[in-house]
Amino acid sequence: MAKNCKYYLEKLSAYLDNELNSAQREGVEVHLNCCADCRQYLNDLERIHGYTQDIYSSVRKNAHQDSVWNSIAAQLAENGSGTVKNPILWGRKRFAVWISSAVAACLILLSGFFAYYAFLKLNRNQCIVTWVESKKAPVMVYKDKSTNTTIIWMFSDENSVSNT
């Protein structure tokens, strides 16, 4: 196949459809006269077109039978002037609702899982704070498990605090 065949191959489909202007058409015909590969390519396209027409002509013939008008009229009468639930579109909407519900459920589960995980992590290093009221002074005990440290505050009066 010649180097410039690629250019003409792209044009052959439009040539077959009679969509080229006269200059382009002439250029293609000149090339076809001297290129057997492109002639073969055009021949293949014509055969495909022939097969397609064979199938589609019988489809067109069948399409004339069995009008859909009665079904359309019945559906229009049933639904009045309001919105008709188009089976295809309705299916798509239902699918979209289903997907968004599934996503929302997953998000809720994930956030619950993370909250539980964070709670467990916090509890692993839990700090215990105890407040003890006594006659002398109230005492607050703070224990950090991760560092194994205990801090005790003793409140002698309202304004002073001592810790151990």
Q: State the residues that interact with other proteins by CB under 8 A.
A: 9-10, 12-14, 17, 19, 41, 44-45, 47-49, 51-64, 66-69, 71-73, 75-76, 81, 83-84, 86-89, 91-92, 95
To the nearest whole angstrom, how small is the minimum distance from the Cβ of residue 105 to other proteins?
A: 19
Please identify, using beta-carbon distances, which residue of 75 and 123 lies nearer to other proteins: 75
The distance of Cα 3 from the centroid of its chain, to the nearest Å, equals: 43
Ramachandran angles phi, psi of 102, nearest 5°: -65, -40
Give the whole-angstrom CA distance, residue 138 versus residue 153. Answer: 8
- Nearest of 124, 156, 154, 159 to residue 142 by alpha carbon: 154
Cα-Cα end-to-end distance for the chain: 95
To the nearest whole angstrom, how small is the minimum distance from the Cβ of residue 66 to other proteins?
A: 7
Please identify, using beta-carbon distances, which residue of 73 and 108 lies nearer to other proteins: 73
Count other C-beta atoms under 10 Å from residue 145's C-beta. 12
Please identify, using beta-carbon distances, which residue of 78 and 157 lies nearer to other proteins: 78
To the nearest whole angstrom, how small is the minimum distance from the Cβ of residue 33 to other proteins?
A: 21
